[in-house]
Amino acid sequence: MKTDTIFYQLFQSFPSIFFELIQLPITEANNYRFDSVEVKQLSFRLDGVFLPQNNNPQTPIYFCEVQF
């Protein structure tokens, strides 16, 4: 879908926008890398996921799915 590409590029280029939307400090973006993943269960594809850059199991993973 065309909008998926738009939001992927947006979050890839400006990850702080995501953290602003979920009302967390935008500096949190420095602790994450944004990527696109596919969950293998009848091929469910997410718009993207913010994965922690540290190995702390207490750090949340954020899954992104944009609908409008």
Average pLDDT for residues 8-18, to the nearest whole number?
A: 90
- Answer whether 0.85 is exceeded by the pTM: no
Q: Contact 12/34 with Cβ under 8 angstroms? A: yes
pLDDT tens-digit map of 21-49: 999 999 999 999 998 877 666 766 778 88
Neighbours of 20 (CB within 10 A): 14
